[in-house]
Amino acid sequence: MKRIIAPSFLASNFLQLASEVAMVNESAAEWLHLDIMDGRFVPNISFGLPVVEHIASATKKFCDVHLMIVEPEKYITDFKKAGADQLCVHIEACPHLHRVLEQIHDQDMKAGIAVNPHTPIDFLKDIIQHADVVNLMSVNPGFGGQAFIEHTYTKIKELRKMIDDKGLDTLIQIDGGVTQQNARTLFDTGANVLVAGSSVFKAADPKRAIADLLDA
């Protein structure tokens, strides 16, 4: 089963973004994960379009942009222009989720659905076939460095069964609290993509940390 590590730049050193991007460029990571927070959907503000544009211009890696914002449909074209390869929107923020996923696909980007820890997997049963990836939040969204929510393993199993039963190739992404200690279990349970922030950027050897997560 496909394995991908997506270093989360929320945990990077913003004063050294060029070198942080260069490090990931030289690593085994296939994706970059960029968290956009608006202070409304989540109680935090991160960074916006200019930062995405600069990072995307400095890499050939797949730019996975996670929109933790209300009304994400207003910014789809802007993020495409900034260099996003994939936009992931929250099911809780999109009353017309099918329409939003279609708008993302119309811009030739991959489309993802993010799911908060309290949201049942069953809510995805009528929409998952329109998503390229499902981002299971394994912490409450808004802040990096939080502890992993153990119930996520149950949700991975439920989601993997739904994907397999429908014959889909939708990827399962895990976002939050990913460490060297739980990476193997996450992959073995059915995850494809691990978003890793602190466990990469706070490591003594970030490139080694990425390789270790991938080979867990």
Residue 175 known to bind ligand: yes
User: What whole-number distance in Å separates Cα of residue 5 and Cα of residue 183?
Assistant: 10
Residue 33 known to bind ligand: yes
Residue 198 known to bind ligand: yes
The backbone torsions φ and ψ at residue 79, rounded to the nearest 5 degrees and listed phi first, read -70, -30
Residue 145 known to bind ligand: yes
Residue 199 known to bind ligand: no
Type of residue numbered 10: L
Cβ atoms of 102 and 94 closer than 8 Å: no
Active-site residue, from 132, 165, 175, 205: 175
175 is catalytic: yes
Residue 167 known to bind ligand: no
3-state secondary structure of 68: strand
- Per the DSSP assignment, residues forming a β-bridge with 101 are none
User: What whole-number distance in Å separates Cα of residue 140 and Cα of residue 125?
Assistant: 22
Active-site residue, from 35, 38, 64, 132: 35
What tokens does 65 get? 């942009």
Residue 39 known to bind ligand: no
Residue 138 known to bind ligand: no
- DSSP element (H, E) containing 196: strand 193-196
85 is catalytic: no
Residue 48 known to bind ligand: no
Residue 177 known to bind ligand: yes
Q: CA-CA distances (angstroms) from residue 105 to 99, 189, 214?
A: 10, 29, 28
Residue 35 known to bind ligand: yes
User: What whole-number distance in Å separates Cα of residue 31 and Cα of residue 42?
Assistant: 23
- Provide the pairing of β-strand 31-37 with 86-90: unpaired
Q: Which residues are catalytic?
A: 35, 175
Question: Which parts are annotated binding residues?
Answer: 8, 33, 35, 66, 142-145, 175-177, 197-198
Question: Which parts are annotated binding residues for substrate?
Answer: 8, 66, 142-145, 175-177, 197-198
